[in-house]
Structure 1
Amino acid sequence: ATTSVTVYLHGWYGQPAFLADDVSLLGPGDPKPSPTATSPTPTGTVGPSPTDTTTPSPTATTPRPPARHLLTGYWQNFDNGATVQRISDVPAAYDIIAVSFAEATGTPGGLGFALDPTLSSRLGGYTEAQFKADIAAKKAAGKKVILSVGGEKGTVSVNSSASATNFANSAWSLMQSYGFDGVDIDLENGVSSTWMGQALHTLAARAGSGFTLTMAPQTIDMQSTGAEYFKLALNVKDILTIVNMQYYNSGAMLGCDGQVYSQGTVNFLTGLACIQLKGGLRPDQVGLGVPASTSAAGGGYVSPAVVNNALDCLAAGTNCGSFKPDTKWPGIGGAMTWSTNWDAKSGGGIASTVGSHLHAMP
């Protein structure tokens, strides 16, 4: 006999963001709203890379930041109980800083951004001029600072040629105004591989050399190359820096071997990363997205030591759990955390332990 179990997948704020069937049990305290959507049962299999003839040919190239293995951290443009920070407060271990978040405007696909006034006040009057100067200083130090689009509450939608144009135009304007190096796609309300792909290729062509593009899909979005988010990643592979999937707020998922693995384990990190690595992304385009503390996510926290073990397992086949991939990927992209603020609140273990480990990897 079989049983059907339902899991709600959540965004960073702990609210329901997605519904998947036949996956795993909810953790204690997770909200249980009435289902509003279903997704097909993940297969864990990978297929050929999809093609999209509607996307214009890009002209930009995407050189990686100086580090071979990258540590990405989200910087919170709001105060939610984590340590409030200026951009200058973000430790040097972070190679990419994703400013969270761009806001939707009244124009379909359009983006807006401004410093949160409450955060500014908490920081003693952090001005836009100081914010821009801090971004410039990070860039001068060899870091990348990008604007994240989405989050659990994000409502930006790119679903037509017109909205793709609006996205590219507004993103480019914000990049010029603030000095951002690129964008992060962290939409949890659905993406179009066709239209978002068009928007990102247009933006990359305008930005030219140095454009940085990251993505932070949920686990359900990267179970198969047939999923729209995975299709988007493959569609923009030529301009993509790294995909840091959120290995948290998920419940259990299928690994590339077809086995079910629970979040919060080394097997979960390695088994799910394997799907992306075998599904068409380059090793340097695959990163491990983890919460900085138990306060940063509703579930899926692992210690920095477990993150390092997963990186070693994927890169060299060492420190694995019961799942050991049949391939080694020494060029594995790196790791990401939500957030630099929660990392600071919990003692900086991601920056110090994971960051130093990443930068010491060959």
Structure 2
Amino acid sequence: MKGNRLAFRQVSIGILIVALIVSFFQLMPVNATKAQAAVSSKMIVGYWHNFDNGSGFIKLRDVSPKFDVINVSFAEPTSGVTNGTIGFTPYNYTDADFKADVVYLQSQGKKVLISIGGANGQVQLPSTTARDNFVNSVTAIIEKYGFDGLDVDFEGHSLYLNAGDSDFKNPTTPVIVNLISALKTINNHFGTDNFYLTMAPETFFVQLGYSFYGGSCISCDNRAGAYLPVIEATRDILDWVQVQNYNSGPIIGLDNQYHNMGSADFHVAMADMLLAGFPVAGKSNQFFNALRADQVLLGLPANANAGGGFTSVAEVQKALDALIKGIQLPSYQMRSSTNGFSDFRGVMTWSINWDKYNNFEFSPIATGHISML
């Protein structure tokens, strides 16, 4: 996934998709409050590698100014998957220089979050001890480096549902219950007005929950829909969800048809599920209510090598036109709104480092081929 540290692979022209979007995002004002930003701003979120996978190292202060939010990735477990203790050491940095660069970005009006997990950093909190270790270590990391918030990027087998845990509004599986408790505790510690909480789940853990829910189905993967109880329990403090619309199998949308990644249909159908809500596992008495439009971003791979599900410029434009302007697709009609959402939050991409490798080829370009207005 995003954290897969493979050797360098040639970057394709597809990275221009994000380039075409960026110039149309309005940068968040430096003095804007969090509440104002949640309603009025559109943003682009990028992940910054705290490692070198062949795309090259980049100092935080050299990140393209077109990114509004920089997710430092990743903080990872230090003592095994189930201990809960999370560690973070800046790659190719002294602590002092890293802190200075975080402050520099913040002085430019950017938000710098620490992202936990990734493909190589699986985290499980099966006990209250693990929960407390998680809270204490994550809090210490945020305070030490001055991060603006926390991005939860739990992948793989970090989250799952025990058999019989069928009510996503009242979960009983320890790894779910303890994560919810931990996130609330961390958020309360820093205060909701100054702390950002975001999540980057895969479609398997969210939209697949419309068809299958891991705690209630027979012979299905017990991870199916496992993010839903976490999102549900934290929706009042959750700033945004950026589902990874890549590296995904076919997913059934609200039209009860399969949608394949890489198309406008897929992006619109996946976002529509979050904007309209849906019955979990098809059960009307287990309804996942809609998120606000400002809580939803599209997660796009920057190019064909960044993740499966690369989407052409034309298809991205169609998806954004449907979601923001209400220009409906002929093959998928949105259930959430026929007029679109002017406050749809924006776009997330993996990754900032590929931008740097290509000499900032995509982030500064203002071609006008894709419009968010």
Instruction: Establish whether residue 198 from structure 1 lines up as the match of residue 181 from structure 2.
Output: yes
Q: 1:200 to 1:355 in 2, by over 3 A?
A: farther
Instruction: Establish whether residue 139 from structure 1 lines up as the match of residue 113 from structure 2.
Output: no
Instruction: Establish whether residue 86 from structure 1 lines up as the match of residue 84 from structure 2.
Output: no
AA aligned to 1:174 is: I
Aligned counterpart for 1:112 among listed residues 87, 92, 97: 87
Partner of 2:76: 103
Structure 2: how far apart are the matches of 1:181 and 1:355? 32
Decide whether the 8 Å contact of 1:217 with 1:246 is kept in 2: yes
AA aligned to 2:87 is: G
How far does residue 330 in structure 1 lie from its aligned partner after superposition? 2.2
Q: 1:90 to 1:306 in 2, by over 3 A?
A: farther
Q: How does 1:172-191 map to 2 (within 5 A)?
A: 172-188=139-155, 189-191=157-159
AA aligned to 2:187 is: A
Query: What are structure 2's unaligned runs of at least 5 residues?
Result: 7-32, 160-174, 214-224, 278-289
How far does residue 248 in structure 1 lie from its aligned partner after superposition? 0.7
Structure 1: how far apart are the matches of 2:255 and 2:312? 24
1:13 partner SS: coil
Aligned counterpart for 2:354 among listed residues 320, 342, 349: 342
Partner of 2:206: 222
Q: 1:288 to 1:346 in 2, by over 3 A?
A: farther
1:147 partner SS: strand
1:177 partner SS: helix
Q: How does 1:124-273 map to 2 (within 5 A)?
A: 126-188=93-155, 189-191=157-159, 192-208=175-191, 209-223=193-207, 224=209, 226=213, 227-273=225-271
Structure 2: how far apart are the matches of 1:71 and 1:243? 13
Structure 1: how far apart are the matches of 2:146 and 2:69? 14
Q: 1:324 to 1:142 in 2, by over 3 A?
A: same
AA aligned to 1:180 is: F
Aligned counterpart for 1:313 among listed residues 284, 298, 322: 322
Decide whether the 8 Å contact of 1:252 with 1:263 is kept in 2: yes
Instruction: Establish whether residue 70 from structure 1 lines up as the match of residue 80 from structure 2.
Output: no
AA aligned to 2:114 is: L
Structure 2: how far apart are the matches of 1:210 and 1:231? 24
Decide whether the 8 Å contact of 2:123 with 2:158 is kept in 1: no
Decide whether the 8 Å contact of 1:83 with 1:341 is kept in 2: yes
How far does residue 329 in structure 1 lie from its aligned partner after superposition? 2.4
Query: What are structure 1's unaligned runs of at least 5 residues?
Result: 1-9, 16-60, 121-125
2:363 partner SS: helix
Decide whether the 8 Å contact of 1:304 with 1:354 is kept in 2: no
How far does residue 324 in structure 1 lie from its aligned partner after superposition? 2.9
| CA RMSD, Structure 1 to Structure 2 (Å) | 2.7
Q: 1:289 to 1:169 in 2, by over 3 A?
A: same
TM-score after normalising by structure 2: 0.73
AA aligned to 1:102 is: A
Decide whether the 8 Å contact of 2:320 with 2:372 is kept in 1: no
TM-score after normalising by structure 1: 0.75
How far does residue 305 in structure 1 lie from its aligned partner after superposition? 5.2
Q: 1:142 to 1:258 in 2, by over 3 A?
A: same
How far does residue 241 in structure 1 lie from its aligned partner after superposition? 1.0
Instruction: Establish whether residue 284 from structure 1 lines up as the match of residue 251 from structure 2.
Output: no
AA aligned to 1:186 is: D
Q: 1:269 to 1:336 in 2, by over 3 A?
A: same
Partner of 2:344: 332
**Paired-residue identity, %:** 38
Partner of 1:302: 311
Q: 1:296 to 1:71 in 2, by over 3 A?
A: same
Aligned length: 298
Decide whether the 8 Å contact of 2:122 with 2:158 is kept in 1: no
Structure 2: how far apart are the matches of 1:321 and 1:155? 40
Structure 2: how far apart are the matches of 1:162 and 1:100? 25
2:138 partner SS: helix
